[in-house]
Chains A and B, each alone.
Chain A
Amino acid sequence: MDMLCISNLYKRFGDKEVLRGLQLHVPQNSIYGFVGKNGAGKTTAMKTVLGLLRADAGEITVNGERVVYGQTETNRYIGYLPDVPAFYPFMTAREYLLFCGALTGMLHAELEGRISELLALVGLDGETHRIKGFSRGMKQRLGIAQALLGKPKLLICDEPTSALDPVGRKEILDILLAAREQTTVLLSTHILSDVERICTDIAFLHEGVIAASGSLAEIRTKYRRNLYRIETEEASQCELLISHLRGMQRVGENQLSFCEEDCSLREVLRFLSEESISVIRLEREEPGLEALFMEVIGK
């Protein structure tokens, strides 16, 4: 069963249509990467799932239950880490987690142990200061801790690593990876290397709809293009190639790249030998997600 189902979701702000028939199915126990450029509507979609924003049309179910705007029923399945988490500054991290636990109705005895465990997990154990003085990174860690507190079935993280240094980022990704055992994770991000590192599935949000989605492997095969890079001895030889062959793109002083679909490798090799062009390097490139993303959104 899908943990989260979004079908035909529409949302507009004024005359700006942000979501235009969004479809998203997040399978159980996946780590689902939700990728889109700034302003694509990732946060909007997530807030609608939490019942914090009213959808103009469409249906959302969490664990098979319908989400209703303004009601919080389905939120008992969800742990949420907002893009900029805001806590009560006058509490300490432990007090805040105790407060959260009481809100979800957890038993005090169970809560104490769970909180110590989580504070250790996110590296905030021994932190007795009030949240007022926390750095962004510390708040992000506390955010992860509160999201995981109730052992949610669905963990929604809005750009969980954007405020963190490389070490902190790795730690958070490891926590999410470990959380996968018990939960389903939906995480939005622009950082595609993070997606490559931990995600099992991915969806690209573009112009209000999912432009491409599937498991990481599926996406790779679907959008695989044979991309080559060629380096010649002299710049003038590049000019020659550009003027005679289709799809040659300059990527450096005397470097070109081309795609097998535009111009076959055989054709290029024949031209190189006919014209006696001295080649320093000719290699095949493995496109990263970055390139895939550009490809999907048609850039």
Chain B
Amino acid sequence: MKALFAFIRKEITEQIRSGRLWLLLAVFVFFGIMNPAVAKLTPWLLELLADSLAESGMTVTDVTVSAMDSWVQFFKNAPICLIVFAVVQSGVFTREYASGTLVLSLTKGLARYKVVVAKAAVLFALWTACYFMGFAITYGYNAYFWDNSVAQSLAASVFFWWVFGVWVIALSVLFSTLFQTNTQVLVATGGSAFACYLLGLLPKVKRVVPTLLTDGNALIYGTSDAQAYTVALIVAAVTAVACIFLSLLAFNKKQL
């Protein structure tokens, strides 16, 4: 236990001193502010453009924005945040393979599974902290400017998107134990998520693939209810757990 905590502490220190923690916090705060800001500025922007739009035959009627527009922005920007997160953290394992720093820790008697557990735990915690901070900022502004209650099933939609992030991170942990470089990890993780997205285009499997969890708009507009996401949620949870389990096995056999 002591060894595990020591390794977790080392991971956190590394996140802080390498500047990765601050970079991610900055990105998530930025988008947390941008979501309501874009919604707030939309009418003003349209007014500015009204003349030129009118020339091209479009008439701008009075636009009213609500918290809804801000939440739509939230779900539009969440993928960008997740991609930034995945890219910034893609070297968590591979950097150690390249430099050979794990060798000494392991020869000190640190059990191999603790390396995976510590790194995965720090990644999940970091994702959770960053994501919900971004959410809290957006929520706060929305409550101040408008009214959050217009968005239906808001809690569920936000929770589902968080689970999707966890799923992607679990994939990247698995690929980190299988591959040697962070490019390979990114390509494999991105490839898998994209393959899921493509599968999700087929009506028959749409309800099953984890990428369904990213469809927050359907929930807040009430065109879909949270129940419809159950299967995808279970699939995501099961595959995420399986990924972590497999990565423990793979890491035990990895040549360092």
Binding site for A on B (CB under 8 A): 2-3, 5-7, 9-10, 13-14, 17-18, 99-101, 103-112, 252-253, 255-256
Complex Cα distance, B255 from A216, in Å, reads 35
Q: Is the CB of B108 within 8 A of A87?
A: no
User: Does the CB pair A87–B107 fall under 8 Å?
Assistant: no
Size category of the binding interface on chain A: 20 to 34
- Asked if A90 and B17 make an inter-chain contact with CB atoms under 8 angstroms apart, the answer reads yes
Are the CB atoms of B3 and A103 closer together than 8 Å?
yes
Taking a contact as CB atoms under 8 Å apart, the answer to whether A78 and B107 are in contact is: yes
Known contacts A70-B253, A82-B104, A90-B13; decide if A102 and B3 are in contact (CB<8 Å).
yes
Task: Give min CB distance, B248 to chain A, whole Å.
Answer: 11
Neighbouring A residues of B109 by C-beta, 8 Å: 72-73, 75-76, 103-105
| A75 close to B106 (CB less than 8 A) | yes
Residue pairs across A and B with Cβ atoms less than 8 A apart, 10 shown, are: A52-B107, A82-B103, A85-B104, A88-B101, A90-B13, A91-B10, A100-B104, A102-B5, A103-B6, A146-B108
Complex Cα spacing A76 to B255, Å: 20
User: Which chain B positions have C-beta within 8 A of A75?
Assistant: 106-109
Choice from A71, A80, A86 contacting B101 with Cβ under 8 Å: A86
10 smallest beta-carbon distances between A and B, as pairs: A102-B6, A86-B100, A90-B17, A103-B108, A80-B107, A76-B109, A86-B101, A103-B110, A103-B3, A86-B99
Among residues of A, the one whose C-beta sits closest to the C-beta of B111 is A72
New contact pairs (11) apart from A84-B100, A100-B104, A100-B108, CB-CB < 8 Å: A52-B106, A54-B255, A73-B109, A78-B107, A80-B104, A85-B104, A86-B101, A90-B17, A90-B18, A103-B105, A104-B109
A-B contact count (CB 8 A): 74
Interchain CA distance A54-B255 in the complex, whole Å: 8
Q: Mark A55-98, 1 if CB is under 8 A from B, else 0.
A: 00000000000000011110110101010111110110000000
Beta-carbon contact of A70 and B104 below 8 Å = no
Q: Which residues of A contact B112 (CB under 8 A)?
A: 70-72
CA distance A82 to B17 in the complex (A): 26
* The one of B6, B99, B103, B252 that contacts A99, using a Cβ cutoff of 8 Å: B6
- Docked CA distance A88–B10 (Å): 9
Whether the Cβ atoms of A87 and B3 lie closer than 8 Å is: no
Q: Check B14 against A88 for contact (C-beta < 8 Å).
A: yes
Query: Which chain A residues border B103 with CB–CB below 8 Å?
Result: 52, 82, 86
- Rounded to whole angstroms, the CA-CA distance of A87 and B253 in the bound complex is 23
Chain A contacts of B14 at CB under 8 A? 88, 90
Question: What CA separation (Å) do A54 and B253 show in the bound complex?
Answer: 9
